[in-house]
Amino acid sequence: MSTVDTMVRLTYLAAATCFVLGLHLMNSPARARRGNQLSAAGMVAAVVATLVLIVDAKAITATGWIVLAAGAGAGAAAGRYAARTVQMTAMPQLVSLFNAVGGGAAAVVAVQEFTRLAEPVPARVAVPTVLDVLIGAVTFTGSLVASGKLQGLLTSSPVVFTGRRALTATLSAVAVAAGVVAATGRGGALPLSALLLAALALGVVTVLPIGGADMPVVISLLNALTGTAVAMAGFVLDNSVLIVAGALVGASGTILTVLMAQAMNRSVVSIVVGGFGTGDSAGAAAGPAGAGVRTVTADDAAIQLAYASKVVIVPGYGLAAAQAQHAVQELAGLLTARGVEVTYAIHPVAGRMPGHMNVLLAEANVPYPQMRELDEANAEFPRTDVALVVGANDVTNPAARRPGNPVSGMPILDVDAARSVIVIKRSMGHGYAGIDNELYTNPKTGMLFADAKAGLTALVAGVKTLVG
């Protein structure tokens, strides 16, 4: 091993260490920024080391330098622009898009390395190549479809068509057959191309039938897959930093996938099989006043909130959809100024990706110590005077504690344990599970029928005029 080689390998080791420590620092909001910077420093080191390696090997042609610089420059500019301009509500689709290009890059890298080698390609390259192309290509198109659904370019409802299962089965069979042939390292580019095309199509037909509400699981799963694809690219190129980084991402994606699936009371398999679930505008409006429902006016609700000593706000995706984060923070600020203790109870799936609601609230200047996770929040509800539910539905349904219905066993926020409950909602429409929410007919609950933003604005006005 030459000196340069040794130095490069040591730098890769240092970069991998930076990635691990960077992720480790993310276990507290106070240190997370430093973690991201450390991880970025590791990335710069890895890239510089690779540049040194390339220059030292003297194999790269002038054209090689040009295409590399042009590609990287264009990609970096596009990524930087997208990252700087994206709205926080659009974060899931951007993460999905970055995921897509990461998976795509991993697949392309393996294809190029495979076709460059003389036949028969050794198994140590051929086998990870097959896995990389399969996973990378599925992730590429799958993430693009997910991103399109989240952006509203494609319908967020499950797309189910006749023969979908047969098509999926055929594509899978083609992918497996082509993959087995390619893994032997013979047959030229044909089996690999067949595998690539089948995998690209598989990504589309797998994600299309998945409903918008299942997106937190899908994004996490695709993230795990991209990580695995990058690790496979590391095997193909015999490059340790790719393997370590890919494995870390694979682990993080897997953990988040499992957490999200548990929080939605669904198995990962049933989500991927798809065809279930709904779009964003779930449920038909069943008219504002159902039987046994008590309505409250904004003014009454405002007085109730202003004279409480502890208020817990339960935000759901409806709040983000109505862009009401700032209105809710204004209300919380008014109440805090009156000496009311205000916290936010955030369900893991209150958004379109894991932790999405926390980011939206952080953007609206909600300090993170006020954000409570499921267990912490449930411990607080019994000593809460008023729970204010905004745009959340199924995750507050007490029916989850009983067996025999679609939400049975789902971890919920025990909103009904609070002394009184105010729900801001447009109508009695159903949530994603398609069942009545028993919380709404609870005698403790007052329904404030309004759009999340209009309702919160009315509450802010009420608190200001009536008790200010």
The interface with other proteins within residues 353-392 (CB under 8 A) comprises 353-356, 358-359, 362-363, 365, 367-369, 371, 373-374
Stretch that binds other proteins, among 108-116, 164-172, 275-283, 415-423 (CB under 8 A): 108-116
> Under a CB-based contact definition with an 8 Å cutoff, are residues 154 and 145 in contact?
yes
Based on CB atoms, which residue is closest to other proteins, 223 or 442? 223
Residues 317-356 within binding reach of other proteins (CB under 8 A): 333, 336-339, 346, 348, 351, 353-356
- CA separation for the pair 363, 371 (Å, rounded): 13
**Cis peptide before 120, with omega less than 30 degrees from 0?**
yes
Integer Cα distance of 111 and 131 in angstroms: 11
Using CA atoms, how far apart are residues 93 and 101, in angstroms rounded to an integer? Answer: 12
Is 394 one of the annotated active-site residues of the chain? yes
Q: Which is nearer to other proteins, 39 or 397 (CB)?
A: 39
Q: Work out how close the CB of 367 gets to other proteins at its nearest, in angstroms, rounded to a whole number.
A: 5
Least Å distance, CB 168 to other proteins, is: 26
CA dist 106 and 116 (Å) reads: 16
Spatial separation of the C-alpha atoms in residues 317 and 219, rounded to whole Å: 16
Distance of closest approach, residue 310 Cβ to other proteins, in angstroms: 14
Closer residue to other proteins in complex, CB, 254/384: 254
Smallest separation (angstroms) from other proteins to the CB of 165: 30
Q: Which stretch binds other proteins (CB under 8 A): 41-49, 153-161, 273-281, 407-415?
A: 41-49
Interacting residue with other proteins among 4, 7, 14, 43 (CB under 8 A): 43
Please state whether beta strands 310-315 and 341-345 pair in parallel, antiparallel, or not at all (unpaired): parallel
d(CA 258, CA 65): 42
Residue 211, H or E segment: none
Which x/- pattern over 238-277 shows residues binding other proteins (rule: CB under 8 A)?
xxxxxxxxxxxxxxxxxxx--x------------------
How far, in Å, CA of 352 to CA of 369, rounded? 22
Residue numbers 202-231 binding other proteins by CB under 8 A: 219-220, 223, 226-227, 230-231
Q: Give the nearest distance from C-beta 36 to other proteins in angstroms.
A: 5
CB of 181 to other proteins, least distance (A): 21
142 near other proteins, rule: CB under 8 A: no
Strand partners, 446: 422
Residues 72 and 4: their CA atoms lie apart, in Å, by 24
Tokens representing 45 are 């080191």
Check residue 313 and report its DSSP letter.
E
The answer to whether 301 and 463 are in contact (CB under 8 A) is no
What is the smallest separation between the CB atom of 38 and other proteins, expressed in angstroms? 10
C-alpha distances (whole Å) from 169 to each of 174, 206, 275 are 9, 11, 16
The Cβ of residue 404 has, within 10 Å, a number of other Cβ atoms equal to: 6
Two structure tokens written together for 35: 């973690």
CB nearer to other proteins: pick between 167 and 237: 237
User: Given 132, 214, 280, 394, which residue is catalytic?
Assistant: 394
Strands (E), 81-214: none
Judged by CB under 8 A, the chain residues 47 through 106 that form the site for other proteins are: 47, 50-51, 53-54, 57, 59-61, 63-65, 67-68, 70-76, 78-80, 82-84, 86, 88, 91, 94-95, 98-99, 101-102, 104-106
Q: Which is nearer to other proteins, 84 or 161 (CB)?
A: 84
CA-to-CA distance for 233 and 249, rounded, in angstroms? 14
Q: Please, which of residues 417-456 interact with other proteins by CB under 8 A?
A: none
Of 252 and 405, the one with the shorter C-beta distance to other proteins is 252
Could you tell me the smallest distance in angstroms from the CB atom of residue 354 to other proteins? 4
- Say how far apart CA 330 and CA 328 lie, in whole Å: 5
- The residues in 172-191 that bind other proteins, with binding defined as CB under 8 A, are none
Residues 17-36 interacting with other proteins (rule: CB under 8 A) = 19-20, 22-24, 26-30, 32-33, 35-36
Nearer to other proteins, 45 or 435 (CB): 45
Q: How many CA atoms lie within 13 A of 423 on its CB side?
A: 31
Cβ proximity to other proteins: between 60 and 173 the closer is 60
- Count residues binding other proteins (CB under 8 A): 123
Interface pick for other proteins out of 93, 113, 199, 453 (rule CB under 8 A): 113
DSSP letter, residue 122: P
What is the C-alpha separation between 278 and 386, in angstroms, rounded? 31
Contact 448, 327 (CB under 8 A): no
Return the residue of 191, 212, 235, 433 that touches other proteins, per CB under 8 A: 235
Known catalytic residues are 394
